[in-house]
Amino acid sequence: MRISEIGEFGLIDRIKKDTIVKPQDVLLGIGDDCAAYYGTSSDKVALATSDMLVENIHFILSAGSPRQLGKKAMAVNLSDVAAMGGIPRHTLISLGISPDTSVEFIEELAEGIKEEARLYEVNLIGGDTVRSPLGLIINIALIGEVESDLIVKRSTARPGELIMVTGDLGGSAAGLILLLEEKKCSLVPPPLAQEVKSIHLSPTPRLKEGRVMAREKVATSMIDISDGLASDLTQIGKASGVGAMIYAGKVPILPAAKRVGELLGVDPLSLALYGGEDYELLFTTLPEKADSIIKLIKEKLGTKVSIIGEIRDKEQGLKIKNLSGEIVDLQPKGYNHFSSFSTRG
């Protein structure tokens, strides 16, 4: 059987048996944004996450600068720590590099990684540099921590809770289309194209927002939007054993993504639902807490938070109420042009 037949999640399901040897040391193994294990402190758990980025699968060198690539590689891992409500601490970087790569390129890439790490007070403590005849490979392992009683998992959403999301969606997908299909850029005013490209190339990890959500104990479950709202909500549904209803009219679409979608003849809602790589936080909360969290995050951090749906019983499945009022299944599909089975942690 080929990997392409069972996909990434099928593969992980097969691998993840018998991975935990000492269960008393592990709070979360495979299956959340980060793993969590007990350190020597009784009130905190350590978080760990790791992402591999492969040239021409997760990035193309021509799309942005090496510095942007480095910053983004770090940001997508920071986003996983954000989705646990945690604080990132230390990172290990492995680089697979073609011998004819220029030193300047790698220095700029490393500068981007370090710049992003510095921004969030993360120490680059080690890693590996090896030869790769096959193009650039970046693997980042990130270690963080969170108080045991504040950690926010994927598996703890309950029916009746509201589904919320930070920021606006669809910008990254709109940017990716323009980065991959250059001739489409002629259909879009340059500043607009620039805006969405930049969102794809330079995402901001929502660490502060995730931390507030954890500290105030408002999020009952949380994930970052890496594969796309539909796909990542499916992960919450699967892990928590629940269904969900999303209201299409309430999904916050980035205005620039909406305009780009319209100009290119791509449904803007699809960009927001299936696009991925927005690195916003998708979380659930008790209905009575929704208004106060919207106000708190807006006041403290200037970040918008929207209510986009609610958690239902598992039997009701994952549904979306379209703009026309029609209720249909929400497909857990992603939008990634490159990849048949790769997803982002």
* 79 is a site residue for a copy of itself (CB under 8 A): no
* 58 is a site residue for a copy of itself (CB under 8 A): yes
* 62 is a site residue for a copy of itself (CB under 8 A): no
Q: Footprint of a copy of itself on residues 274-293 (CB under 8 A)?
A: none
| Alpha carbon distance 110, 104 (integer Å) | 10
In the complex with a copy of itself, the residue whose CB is nearer, 101 or 270, is 101
Which is nearest to 175 in space by CA: 345, 55, 57, 335?
A: 335
Q: How far is the CB of 117 from a copy of itself (least distance, A)?
A: 7
* 180 is a site residue for a copy of itself (CB under 8 A): no
**Total binding residues toward a copy of itself, as defined by CB under 8 A:** 88
Q: Footprint of a copy of itself on residues 105-134 (CB under 8 A)?
A: 106-107, 110, 114, 117-118, 121-134
Which is nearest to 164 in space by CA: 338, 291, 262, 345?
A: 291
| DSSP of 44-65 | EEEEEEEEEEEBTTTB-TTTS-
* 44 is a site residue for a copy of itself (CB under 8 A): yes
Q: Footprint of a copy of itself on residues 3-32 (CB under 8 A)?
A: 3-6, 8, 11-12, 14-15, 18-22, 25-26, 28-30
Centre a 10 Å sphere on the Cβ of residue 249 and count the other Cβ atoms it contains.
11
* 61 is a site residue for a copy of itself (CB under 8 A): no
Centre a 10 Å sphere on the Cβ of residue 314 and count the other Cβ atoms it contains.
15
Q: Footprint of a copy of itself on residues 189-228 (CB under 8 A)?
A: none
Candidate ranges 52-60, 190-198, 224-232, 312-320; the one touching a copy of itself (CB under 8 A): 52-60
Q: Footprint of a copy of itself on residues 229-258 (CB under 8 A)?
A: none
* 155 is a site residue for a copy of itself (CB under 8 A): no
Q: What angle do CA 232, 235, 239 make, to 5 degrees?
A: 150
Q: How far is the CB of 160 from a copy of itself (least distance, A)?
A: 30
Burial class (CB in 10 A: 0-12, 13-18, 19+), 41: exposed
Phi-psi label, residue 41: left if phi above 0, alpha if psi -120 to 50, beta otherwise: beta
Amino acid making up residue 304 = K
**Of residues 61, 63, 94, 316, which one binds a copy of itself by CB under 8 A?**
94
| Alpha carbon distance 83, 115 (integer Å) | 21
